[in-house]
């Protein structure tokens, strides 16, 4: 349309050309946004996510996760967050704390045992994360 405006009119309107150009840029931006949202998640990331979900209590190292999908650590971190909306480490923390929340309903188990079962040997660190995530300590859930 820009080409048509320039070629077919004797008195080219600069405003029309500017508007057409702006519309073109908006259309390109929409196409890019749609493509990035609709691009499928690579199978290797889906497989890794499933492994994290089933083995969340195991120690997690970004270097090892990145190697499993064949990327550098920074590129892996970017891609994981792009595909799943959360960093890999935060995803594992969410999985662990969700399971801990479920296990804390069993009052016959100690908080330390539950922390260890979901991957935290340091009870203080576990309690700190739990309180940050849920707003109350793991011990206080037992009082509810």
Q: Which two tokens stand for residue 23?
A: 């519309």
Place of tokens 């069993």: 106
Q: Which of 115, 111, 11, 50 is nearest to 65 (CA)?
A: 50
Q: Which of 92, 100, 94 is nearest to 60 (CA)?
A: 92
How far is it, in rounded angstroms, from Cα 44 to Cα 83? 12
What's the confidence (pLDDT) of residue 144? 64
Helix (H/G/I), strand (E/B), else coil: 87: coil
CA 94 and chain centroid, separation: 11
Show pLDDT as tens, one digit a residue, over the chain (144 residues).
666 767 777 777 777 778 877 888 888 887 776 655 556 889 999 999 999 999 999 999 999 999 999 999 999 999 999 999 999 999 999 999 999 999 998 889 999 999 999 999 999 999 999 999 999 999 888 776
Cβ atoms 56, 92 nearer than 8 A: yes
What is the model's pTM?
0.70
State the SS3 of 1-65: CHHHHHHHCCCCCHHHHHHHHHHHHHHHHHHHHHHHHHCCCCHHHHHHHHHHHHCCCCCCCHHHH
Q: Which two tokens stand for residue 102?
A: 């479920």
């Amino acid at each position: 349309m820009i080409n048509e405006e320039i070629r077919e009119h004797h008195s080219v309107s600069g405003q029309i050309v500017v508007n057409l150009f702006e519309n073109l840029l908006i259309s390109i931006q929409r196409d890019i946004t749609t493509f990035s949202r609709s691009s499928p998640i690579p199978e290797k990331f889906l497989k890794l996510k499933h492994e994290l979900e089933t083995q969340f209590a195991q120690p997690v190292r970004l270097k090892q996760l990145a190697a499993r999908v064949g990327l550098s650590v920074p590129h892996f971190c970017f891609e994981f967050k792009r595909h799943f909306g959360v960093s890999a480490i935060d995803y594992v923390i969410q999985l662990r704390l969700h399971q801990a929340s479920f296990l804390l309903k069993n009052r016959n188990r100690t908080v330390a045992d539950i922390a260890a079962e979901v991957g935290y040997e340091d009870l203080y660190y576990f309690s700190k994360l739990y309180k940050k995530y849920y707003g109350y300590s793991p011990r206080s859930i037992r009082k509810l």
